[in-house]
Chain A
């Protein structure tokens, strides 16, 4: 298996598709860096990098089918399961390398916008979330390419990525809808006997229920859908990057308080999504594992042409 992994990595990393993707990733990052005057970290470029991993992954795995070299492997005694797992591992390597070659220059050029010395922990969480997203996307692309047995799976992966990103943004937006809005605010003043001094005031705020607020089972379904998209890690990383410096390092109670205040208008949102970052990573990695397992079961039964 080790030989097969080495072999597969060699094919992936020596390919023109990988070189093209790395160049593209650096280009995307460069565009954002040099267009941003404030040197702030932005998570959005890394979304494009995650989607760009489809190129080396789909072309790397697809080449084995189009050139027929998968037949050499199967004839040499490699099982289909081993082949698919080797492609998944190579995809992870592609993703990690592409992410690192963009993150490191990004951080250096933006003068540690990602990993500021005063809050390295926050930066590391963001890196972990971005890594999880990119790796998850690459794994899904690899499995899909093996199942479709063609390089053209890159188109399917691109379309699917657009759908997943749009889906996770939509789900997050829906979940952030508040239960009610503040309506008219009226204030009643109480004067003293002279009628000149205000001794008290009574404030009345009208509340208007928000019909767009999603509750109950629909909300639970949205939450699961949000979690199942590997790109939800990007949403979380983006939110985290806007959180104040002290929040991440604060004790749980303080963090919970911060996020409660943050989401006071959106009190129905499950703010634990932003507190338990391990959950986000575990969800995404668990989803990858399940998707890969299903992919293996299907691929094993497939006829290789």
Chain B
């Protein structure tokens, strides 16, 4: 699998405060990678480090295979766009002027593409309105448009839906999906609004206390969080034999517990287990959401 961004044991310390504590992650090409974590987990710090705003205390990262210590990292960064925390736009300029400034900074030969980008983000008709007078959603979209100048392959979005109204959230979500699906842009998006991320992400990285606790694909996560029956037994081997005989899909999660992804009548299960000499201690229905998965992972 090709990775666009890889970090290896990144540490970042601000005097006595440890923001990143050995963070290692891999962002596959073409994915929408959701960085999930509590406030203060290290999501924004990671993005700042990757964008070159801050130097890591130790560790390394590579963008498109180029290590941060190499001079060519500058070229790699030009293939990247980012919106970190708040959108980086000149408030006393119009949307078009902001785009022109970014275009000139990137050395793009002409203003071709500005109209297309502004149409893509829904700001084509803002005219002479200064960015200062935009709504938060419009500012976010302009920030994304500026980040898209230069046709980047990788887009870093740090909590892009914070403070937006429901309409704004939908617009940003649809924009991100469009960018990923139509333009094949890899998106690294951080958020603590898990329900929104669940609609976007193809991969997840769960961050807690400055490190990645788990990396998982959306498919795998869906498999793990789908509706199931949790059974606690005295002998899991016996349980396994019973379930194999019944042709049920299951997963052993500990020495005494298993998840059964099929509806089996309790009476039947109990009877089969008794025949195997196994005791059924408890049965419960489990229906994990992304939130409960996350809380289980990091501790609520």
**Measuring CB to CB, which residues of chain A are less than 8 angstroms from any residue of chain B?**
3-4, 6-7, 10-11, 15-16, 63, 67-79, 301, 303-305
In the complex, B199 has a CB within 8 A of chain A: no
Interfacial chain A residues near B54, Cβ < 8 Å: 303-304
B66-104 vs A, CB cutoff 8 Å, 1 = contact: the mask equals: 000000001101101110111111111000000001101
- Distance from A303 Cβ to chain B, minimum over Cβ atoms (Å): 4
A66 → B minimal CB distance (Å): 9
For A11, the chain B residues whose CB sits under 8 A away are 90, 101
CB-defined A-B contacts under 8 Å, sample of 29: A3-B104, A3-B105, A7-B101, A7-B104, A11-B101, A16-B92, A67-B90, A68-B87, A68-B89, A69-B89, A69-B90, A70-B88, A71-B53, A71-B88, A72-B88, A72-B102, A73-B105, A75-B51, A75-B81, A75-B82, A76-B106, A76-B150, A77-B74, A77-B78, A79-B74, A303-B14, A303-B54, A304-B54, A305-B53
Instruction: Give A8 Cβ to nearest chain B Cβ, in Å.
Output: 9
Q: A68-B88, A78-B105 known; 5 other A-B pairs, CB under 8 Å? A: A7-B105, A10-B101, A68-B89, A76-B77, A303-B48
B46 to chain A: closest CB distance in Å? Answer: 14
Chain B hits for A303, CB < 8 A: 14, 48, 53-55
Q: Are A75 and B105 in contact, with the CB atoms below 8 A?
A: no
Enumerate chain B residues within 8 angstroms of A305, measured Cβ to Cβ: 48, 53
Cβ contacts under 8 Å, A76 to chain B? 77-78, 102, 105-106, 150
The minimal Cβ–Cβ distance linking B103 to chain A, given in whole angstroms, is 10
Please report whether the interface of chain A is mostly helix, strand, loop or mixed according to DSSP: helix
Asked if B161 is at the interface of the complex by the 8 Å CB criterion, the answer is no
Residue picked from B75, B87, B146, most chain A C-beta under 10 Å: B87
- How far does the alpha carbon of A77 sit from the alpha carbon of B86 in the complex, in Å? 20
Q: Is the CB of A63 within 8 A of B90?
A: yes
Top-8 shortest CB links A-B: A68-B88, A77-B74, A304-B53, A303-B54, A71-B88, A72-B88, A75-B51, A77-B77
CA distance A7 to B14 in the complex (A): 32
User: A74: which B residues are within 8 A, CB to CB?
Assistant: 51-53
For B, the interface residue count at a CB cutoff of 8 angstroms equals 32
| Given A16-B92, A67-B88, A68-B87, residue A75 in contact with residue B146 (CB < 8 A) | no
Contacts of A301 in B (CB 8 A): 55
Instruction: Determine if B107 is an interface residue (Cβ-Cβ < 8 Å).
Output: yes
- A200 and B82 alpha carbons, distance in the complex (Å): 94
Interchain CA distance A78-B74 in the complex, whole Å: 8
A303 to B80, CA, bound (A): 20
CA distance A78 to B101 in the complex (A): 14
Residue of B nearest to A300 (CB): B55
> How far apart are B161's CB and chain A's nearest CB, in angstroms?
18
Q: A75-B77, A75-B82 are in contact. Are A15 and B105 (CB under 8 A)?
A: no
Among A6, A79, A305, the one with the most B-chain Cβ atoms within 10 Å of its Cβ is: A305
Contacts of A16 in B (CB 8 A): 92
A63 cross-chain contacts in B, Cβ below 8 A: 90, 92
Q: Are B52 and A75 in contact (CB under 8 A)?
A: yes
Closest to A302 in B: B54
B77: chain A residues at CB < 8 Å are 75-77
A15 to B80, CA, bound (A): 29
Question: Which chain B positions have C-beta within 8 A of A79?
Answer: 74
Instruction: Choose among B84, B91, B102, B106 the residue that contacts A67 (Cβ–Cβ < 8 A).
Output: B91
Knowing A304-B53, A304-B54, the reply to whether A72 touches B105 (Cβ < 8 A) is: yes
Q: How far is the CA of A70 from the CA of B82 in the complex (A)?
A: 12
- Chain B residue numbers with a CB within 8 Å of A77 are 74-75, 77-78
Nearest opposing residue in chain A for B101, CB measure: A7
Closest residue on chain A to residue B14 by CB atoms: A303
Q: How far is the CB of A269 from chain B (nearest CB, A)?
A: 49
Which residue of A is nearest B106, CB measured? A76
Residues on the B chain within 8 Å of A67, using CB: 88-91
